Amino acid sequence: MVDEKIQKEAVEKKLPPISEYKLSVVAAKEIFQEILDFYDIDFEDIVNDQGKEGAETLRNKLIRAIRKGKIETHMSDDPEKGFQIIQNSSTGITLAYNEYNATSAEESDKGKGISAMQYRLLGSLCGKGTDYIKNRKILRGPDLKLAEYIAVIFLL
How far apart CA 126 and CA 5 sit, in angstroms, is 38
pLDDT of residue 13: 61
pTM for this model (two decimals): 0.82
Identify which of 79, 103, 95 has the alpha carbon closest to the alpha carbon of residue 132: 95
Angle at which helix 141-155 crosses helix 49-67, to 10 degrees, equals: 130
Specify the pLDDT at position 73: 96
* pLDDT reported for residue 19: 65
Q: Give the pLDDT confidence score for residue 10 in this predicted structure.
A: 56
pLDDT of 20 reads 75
pLDDT in tens, the chain (156 residues): 455 665 566 566 655 555 678 888 999 999 999 999 999 998 888 767 778 888 899 999 999 999 999 999 999 999 999 999 999 999 898 999 999 999 989 988 888 888 889 999 999 999 988 888 887 778 889 999 999 999 999 988
d(CA 108, CA 32): 23
Pairing of strands 94-97, 71-75: unpaired
What's the Rg (C-alpha) of the chain? 17
Is the distance from CB of 127 to CB of 86 less than 8 angstroms? no
∠78-84-87 over CA atoms, to 5°?
135
